[in-house]
Amino acid sequence: MTSDIPGVVVSQRRTWPDERGDFLELFRSDEYPQAFVQFNHSFSRANVLRGLHYHQHQADLWYIVRGLAQVALADLRGDRAHVEVFELAGGSATTVYIPPGVAHGYLAVEDVDMLYAVTRTYDPDDEHGVAWNDPELGIAWRVRDPVLSERDRTNPQLRWPDLPSFS
């Protein structure tokens, strides 16, 4: 699988199986333009939708350990959004690199364990959001009434004049 969004990298990672199990190399620092400085683990129950979030400066690298997620990406760096929606499954050995300016979210179709790395430590000033059901983005989520955090429930509709510049 590939992405048409500039800077988004979907990588099928190599797995080395043997009689003991598997070994998977998730990333190499020379493959990405910025170094990762923080690693996180997120668990989401089925029907939880996280997002849409975006950052001015931070990039993310996602890996699903277990479960199935419907992923939505929306490039906000131009004058209109380019949206991509795809599934990401645990055990697929696939990572997704998401650069600054690309809104991202996922629906846990099943319970999801996600590991993700970020290129900056948590900075509330670099945390932005767009409504998960924004009509301009038109994302066809697989549920109509997802479980949302308060933040995600109150994310604003997309307003191009309000978007920051991205680096």
Q: Which residues are catalytic?
A: 53, 116
Q: Are 159 and 129 in contact (CB under 8 A)?
A: no
For 22, 61, 92, 122, the CA distances from 19, given in Å and listed in that order, are: 8, 29, 19, 40
Residue 68 dihedral angles phi and psi, to the nearest 5°: -135, 130
Bridge partners (DSSP) of residue 83 are 74
| Cα distance between residue 12 and residue 93, in whole Å | 6
Cβ-Cβ contacts under 8 Å for 140 (sequence gap 6 or more) = 85
The Cα angle at residue 59 between residues 43 and 50, in degrees rounded to 5: 35
In the chain, count H helices and then E strands: 1, 12
- 3-class DSSP assignment, residue 30: helix
